Amino acid sequence: MRLYPHIKRLMDIVLSLFFLALFMPVIILEYILVRIFISKQAIFVQERGGINFSVIKVYKFKTMLDKFDRRGNALPDKYRLSKIGNVLRKLSIDELLQFFNVLKGDMSIIGPRPLILSQIEQLPEKYKVRSRVRPGITGLAQVNGRNSLTFSRKYEYDIEYVKNYSFAMDMKILWKTIFVVFSMKDNPITTPVKELDDIRVQKNCGDSKPEKSHRK
């Protein structure tokens, strides 16, 4: 039995407590700004996939304005993402609340990003191995292209991580994450999701039935 998974959990707890203490002033300020300029419901809660296909509730700060069309449908992301929300996303501080997810044991600091449930339903069999570990706040895909990667390339990085993760790999990802965040590389909204969703394209080529949307 590998020893590192148990050490990794202990590291998650210690580092999460450290980062929450360090960033608590930022979290409080962020909460106030989101409440004033974006939404009175500052915290966004969404069900996503956890380890072994369990369902977890992931926390983050809202970055989208509550804007809807005449039929009550939410407007496209580019019309709802506020200037403040864009900055929060670029700095990835909208996800600071996920350290609470780590403390709960739902997530790890480092691992494949938790997928929304509709994505898991359509996930090709070869990529399901990514659910063998706890999902992470950051991961191998996030430091190697982040949201500029196609879905299949992200999942390939996830599989590589699941098969090879170690203390050395986790430390390398953690340091690279700091660089990516402060350089504000690979802005999450620079490329539309539908242009990166090659998994859906592949499925539609082999199946005439319409697929569900993968947009978050």
Scanning the structure block, which residue is given the tokens 């999460």?
16
User: Residue 143 corresponds to which tokens in the numbers above?
Assistant: 């430091």
State how far the Cα of 182 lies from the Cα of 171, in Å rounded to an integer. 17
Contact 36, 42 (CB under 8 A): no
Q: What's the pLDDT score for residue 210?
A: 37
In this model, does residue 135 exceed pLDDT 90? yes
Q: In whole angstroms, what is the distance from residue 154 CA to residue 197 CA?
A: 10
Q: What is the pLDDT of residues 42-82, one digit of tens each?
A: 999 999 999 999 999 999 999 988 887 788 777 777 778 88
| pLDDT band at residue 190 under the 50/70/90 scheme | very low
Rounded to 5 degrees, what are φ and ψ at 135? -65, 155
| pLDDT at residue number 7 | 94
E strands of 117-172, at which residues? 136-138
How far is 11 from 4, CA to CA, in rounded Å? 10
Tell me the C-alpha distance between 115 and 123, whole Å. Answer: 10
Distance between CA 102 and CA 12 in Å, rounded? 7
| Residue range 86-106, pLDDT digits in tens | 888 888 899 999 999 999 999
- Mean pLDDT of all residues belonging to the chain: 85
- Average pLDDT rounded to a whole number, residues 183-211: 54
CA distance 22 to 16: 10
Say if residue 107's pLDDT is above 50.
yes
Give the residue with greater pLDDT, 200 vs 95: 95
B/e letters for 182-205, b = 16+ CB within 10 Å, e = fewer, are eeeebebeeeebeebbebbeeeee
Q: H helices within 38-64, ranges in order?
A: none
Mapping DSSP to helix (H, G, I), strand (E, B) and coil, where does residue 158 land?
Answer: helix
What angle separates helix 167-183 from helix 4-37, to the nearest 10 degrees? 20
The token pair at 98 is 């996920």
pLDDT tens across 150-166, in order? 889 999 999 999 999 99
Q: What pLDDT digit, counting tens, does each position of 4-54 carry?
A: 988 999 999 999 999 999 999 999 999 999 999 999 999 999 999 999 999
Q: Give the contacts of 138 (CB within 8 A, at least 6 positions apart).
A: 109, 110, 173, 174, 177
- d(CA 148, CA 189) in angstroms, rounded, equals 9
Residue 143 phi, psi (nearest 5): -100, 10
The structure's pTM equals 0.83
